[in-house]
Amino acid sequence: MPDLSSADHAFLILLKNEGRQVSNTELNRQYGVTLIGAACMRLNGTGYVDSDTTRRPYRHHLTEDGRKLLDQQLSIDSDVVEPKAKRSPAEKALWAALVSTFNRQSVSTSVSVEDRVRRAYTDLSAKPGQWIGLAQLRPLLAGVSRAEQDRALVRLLESDDVRLEPEPHRHRLGDEDRAAAVRIGGEERHKLAIGVR
């Protein structure tokens, strides 16, 4: 992989987030930066960015190779053009924050909510097909909105090995159980089983 600096990675992430061709004027107005000089030459030379430099302001977009690069997680040591020893404490902190934020976003977008539900279920259940309460499950889906969780649970019902049922003994339900229920077909469902045969 070509040597990239933390600033290079930051430009790649900016272009990915924009999802379109962006001019230096827009980058400067919105983020206070422009992609010019050595950084522009390096990112175009790697094939990660395609810049239209035929007229000013320059216009840039992320290439398919750039997208593939960003499918990989960053690390604190990814910055090799600007060695850590030459960076100020503030620059080191900003790079660490960039790495952390990018990697968290990468994980959340690459793993579907359904997959997260299945993983959480596996963590909570002693064996496949065991019933667990949604009140136990939902805390393990931090960062996923309640609406997204509910949609994922409904989609999972399309799988042959998934069951979502109401608690038949309603007197056993606590406030947390009632609050965690998902409403499907006019019915509150409180417990989940995956791996049912």
pLDDT tens digit sequence for 69-124:
877 766 666 555 455 556 677 777 776 777 777 766 655 555 688 988 998 999 89
What dihedral angle (degrees, nearest 10) is formed by the CA atoms of 33, 36, 41, 42?
A: -20
- Determine the 3-state secondary structure of 165 from DSSP: strand
pTM: 0.49
Containing 188, the helix (H) or strand (E) segment is: strand 187-189
The pLDDT assigned to 14 comes to 85
Beta bridge partners of 132: 192
- Determine the 3-state secondary structure of 52 from DSSP: strand
Measure the CA–CA gap between 153 and 194, rounded to whole angstroms.
11
Bigger pLDDT: 145 vs 155 = 155
Termini Cα distance of the chain: 47
Containing 132, the helix (H) or strand (E) segment is: strand 132-133
Which of 38-52, 61-75, 135-149, 167-181: highest mean pLDDT? 38-52
Name the residue among 102, 97, 134, 93 with its Cα closest to residue 117. Answer: 134
Report the alpha-carbon angle 74-77-79, nearest 5.
80
- Determine the 3-state secondary structure of 51 from DSSP: strand
pLDDT digits (tens, 9 = 90+) for 10-50: 888 888 878 789 999 988 888 888 999 988 999 999 999 99
Phi/psi for 54 (5° steps) reads -75, -20
Measured over the CA atoms of residue 114, residue 120, residue 124 and residue 128, the dihedral's sign is positive
Whether omega before 57 lies within 30 degrees of 0, making that bond cis, reads yes
